[in-house]
Amino acid sequence: MRHAAYSYAMQQILNALCDPTRRNALVILWDGSEHCVCELMDRLDASQSRMSRHMKVLREAGLVIDRRDAQWVRYRRNPDMTPEIMAVMSAVLNAEKSFELEKA
Amino acid sequence: MRHAAYSYAMQQILNALCDPTRRNALVILWDGSEHCVCELMDRLDASQSRMSRHMKVLREAGLVIDRRDAQWVRYRRNPDMTPEIMAVMSAVLNAEKSFELEKA
DNA sequence: TATGAATATGCGGCATGTCGCATATGCGTA
DNA sequence: TACGCATATGCGACATGCCGCATATTCATA
């Protein structure tokens, strides 16, 4: 996948949103508080390496930030996203939710 | 990529949005009027088979609709999307635009 | 019916993405 | 320092996605 430099960030964000496990992680992280990888593993039924890699994708897309806290790494949503990206995130997470409700 | 049936539509939409050529096609189609494949090919500098396949992905994701008109196939944005999906589209296309402006 | 324009699609090659397994790294505690 | 827990990462297998090429399909016109 090639892309002009100017839209590389956008591309990374959309790639990050393409995976259901990553979107589920975002739903959890979107409460604004911190969550360690082991919690996300448990709640999303993902192996350790799998979860760690998914979090790396989200981090490199700028959607979440992490912090070392003793032996844990605490992830949370990036509080410094541009309004445009925040709008994308709200819309995607809200749409996802609406699809889930639709089925229930 | 596996996913629960309930979010299959959402998954298809996000996959569709993941490709820059498809997003560029959506920008063109988002003016609300009809555009044939040959026009999109020219404007996006894409080969015929490549453009045709990209349009198929957009169509199957429910983002655009098509109509036979003599030897042409006219595509336009789907006017019957849910409000949640319309919000996603607006946010993504707007964010893309903001990234382009940022560089200029 | 023959021809040509516009579009779709089967196929194979190649790039990218995802995952498990094993191992490395960072940190706290004994 | 040795050990254990939490996390990250190199590697290889496998699945998926994208593309060009060739061919099929659809439609209008001669």
List of domains in chain B: 2-103 (1.10.10.10)
Q: What residues of chain A have any CB closer than 8 angstroms to a CB in chain B?
A: 1, 3-7, 9-11, 13-15, 17-20, 82, 84-85, 87-88, 90-92, 94-96, 98-100, 102-103
Tell which residue, B88, B77, B2, B3, has the closest CA to residue B35: B77
Q: Report the SS3 class of residue B69.
A: strand
pTM: 0.93
Q: Where are the alpha helices (DSSP H) in A1-104?
A: 8-17, 20-29, 37-44, 48-60, 83-103
B5 contact partners, CB below 8 Å, separation of at least 6: A103
Q: Report the SS3 class of residue B64.
A: strand
> Could you identify the residue written with the tokens 């560029």?
B24
* Per-residue pLDDT reduced to its tens digit, B27-55: 999 999 999 999 999 999 999 999 999 99
Q: Report the share of chain B in percent with pLDDT over 90.
A: 85
Spell out the per-residue pLDDT of chain A, length 104, in tens: 444 555 899 999 999 999 999 999 999 999 999 999 999 999 999 999 999 999 999 999 999 999 999 999 999 999 999 999 999 999 999 999 888 777 55
- Asked if the Cβ–Cβ distance from A84 to B95 is below 8 Å, we say yes
User: Which residue in A15, A84, A90 is closest to B98 by CB distance?
Assistant: A84
- pLDDT for A1: 40
